[in-house]
Structure 1
Amino acid sequence: MPRPRTPLLDRARIRATALDVIDRDGLAGLSMRRLAAELGVRAPSLYSHYRTKDDLLNDLADDIMRAVDVSAFAVDWVTGLRAWARSYRAALAAHPNLVPVVAAGPARRDAALARADTVHGALVAAGWPPRQATMIGASTRYLVLGAAMASFAHGFETDAQIYADRYPHLDQAHRLRDHAAEIDADSFTLALDSFLHGLRALHTDLTRTPPA
């Protein structure tokens, strides 16, 4: 019988399989040896495509960023920030185990840098000074990463007795886990809306024409 052919490797297939491993087993579960086994090849076969695991993780993070939508900045800066934040959170929520890699910053990642360039350029064009535009981008990112890193509502137990005896103001905390997705989504919306409301007020003061 003919020997089975080794499936051809390419960077897209390597990344897809690596992401499956990370989604399933976390970042600690990914090694080049483990990835090679998943692909049915030997580890040295990977190194002609990715020299190091960090190179692979950088490309995976950039793939995540390609799902982040910044097109709404063409409408106005508030609409742009809202859409950017929501799509950013959704992209990270789809692969939460990769959030620490994305959170490390854009470095030389093309997709991440392109989106950062769009955001910064739109804010400056709207009248924000460059330093404040940078801080707005950073603050939005903090909000998104915080929401993506962990669930507030899932941090509570379902046993009502844990809270009833010692924490009278948390007598309904045991219900949070059952409504975690709704609470976390609504909490993110509240934080984002409040953030944008404050920014609008700052922008009005900044761009108000001085009296003659």
Structure 2
Amino acid sequence: MPRPHTPILSPARIRAAALALVDVDGLEALSMRRLATELGVRAASLYSHVPAKDDLLNDIANEIIGRVDVTGFADGWRPGLAAWARSYRAVLAEHPNMVPFVARGPARRDASLRMADAVHGALVGAGWPPREATMIGAAVKYIVIGAATSSFAAGFSDDAQLYVERYPHLNQAHLLRQHAEEVDNDSFELTLEALLTTLDAKHAAL
């Protein structure tokens, strides 16, 4: 009798399956038992590749953040910040259910620390004091995390009567869902440009 086929596990396959599960059902749905079922193995088999669920999530977050582009700082601190913010948002937007975990901070994740190091180094190299550079990095993160977590425009009802009858100043709000992507993108750009304009003035006064 041939031996039953046992799926071959690898760290990459485990991360991919876990991320697919989180993308569909959220962070709360991920457990080592459910992941093992998805992979067609016993839960015990996973532990030889990853010690615990948090270690797995850190590995996934590391992989995601590793795709953020920080090369724009070669063109200067301002275009670098803009390019970094847009790339950061785009990468997180691909996996919104992972954003709450990523938002906790870099911990010991290599990709997150390399990203922070690149940003901080570029800002300090451009003349920003270290404290200011830290605050700028944090400010961009706040904008990006907020934009990647949810859609402002998509959160409105498309029932026009709801607004006409009770909220007259929102009489066009029922149209927001139809243009959610455009509104959200433009709102992100407005916030980013406001930050950069403020920083231009501060940098000129250094």
- TM above 0.5, yes or no, is yes
Q: Is 1:28 matched up with 2:28?
A: yes
Instruction: Kindly state the Cα deviation for residue 66 of structure 1 after the two structures are TM-superposed.
Output: 0.7
Aligned residue number for residue 50 of structure 1: 50
Cα distance in 1 between the residues matched to 2:30 and 2:178: 31
Cα distance in 1 between the residues matched to 2:67 and 2:3: 40
Aligned residue number for residue 131 of structure 2: 131
Q: TM-score, normalised by structure 1?
A: 0.96
- CA root-mean-square deviation: 0.8
- 1:119-198 alignment, distance < 5 Å: 119-198=119-198
Cα distance in 2 between the residues matched to 1:166 and 1:24: 36
**1:78-116 Cα distance to aligned partner (Å, 9 max, x none):** 011001000000010000000011000001000000010
Amino acid at match of 1:124: V
Secondary structure in structure 2 of the residue aligned to 1:13: helix
Secondary structure in structure 1 of the residue aligned to 2:166: coil
Percent same amino acid among aligned pairs?
66
Q: Is 1:65 matched up with 2:65?
A: yes
Instruction: Kindly state the Cα deviation for residue 4 of structure 1 after the two structures are TM-superposed.
Output: 3.4
Instruction: Kindly state the Cα deviation for residue 155 of structure 1 after the two structures are TM-superposed.
Output: 1.1
42-51 or 3-12, which deviates more: 3-12
Cα distance in 2 between the residues matched to 1:180 and 1:19: 25
Unaligned runs of 5+ in 2: none
Secondary structure in structure 2 of the residue aligned to 1:141: helix
Secondary structure in structure 2 of the residue aligned to 1:134: helix
Cα distance in 2 between the residues matched to 1:156 and 1:30: 29
Cα distance in 2 between the residues matched to 1:4 and 1:153: 51
Amino acid at match of 1:25: D
Secondary structure in structure 2 of the residue aligned to 1:165: helix
Aligned residue number for residue 209 of structure 1: none
Q: TM-score, normalised by structure 2?
A: 0.98
Aligned residue number for residue 210 of structure 1: none
Cα distance in 2 between the residues matched to 1:151 and 1:17: 26
**1:9-34 Cα distance to aligned partner (Å, 9 max, x none):** 11110000000000011111110000
Cα distance in 1 between the residues matched to 2:81 and 2:43: 42
Cα distance in 2 between the residues matched to 1:21 and 1:120: 34
Unaligned runs of 5+ in 1: 207-212
Cα distance in 1 between the residues matched to 2:93 and 2:120: 24
Secondary structure in structure 2 of the residue aligned to 1:51: coil
Secondary structure in structure 2 of the residue aligned to 1:48: coil
Aligned residue number for residue 103 of structure 1: 103
Amino acid at match of 1:111: A
Cα distance in 2 between the residues matched to 1:147 and 1:122: 24
Secondary structure in structure 2 of the residue aligned to 1:128: coil
- Number of residue pairs the alignment of both structures matches: 206
Aligned residue number for residue 11 of structure 2: 11
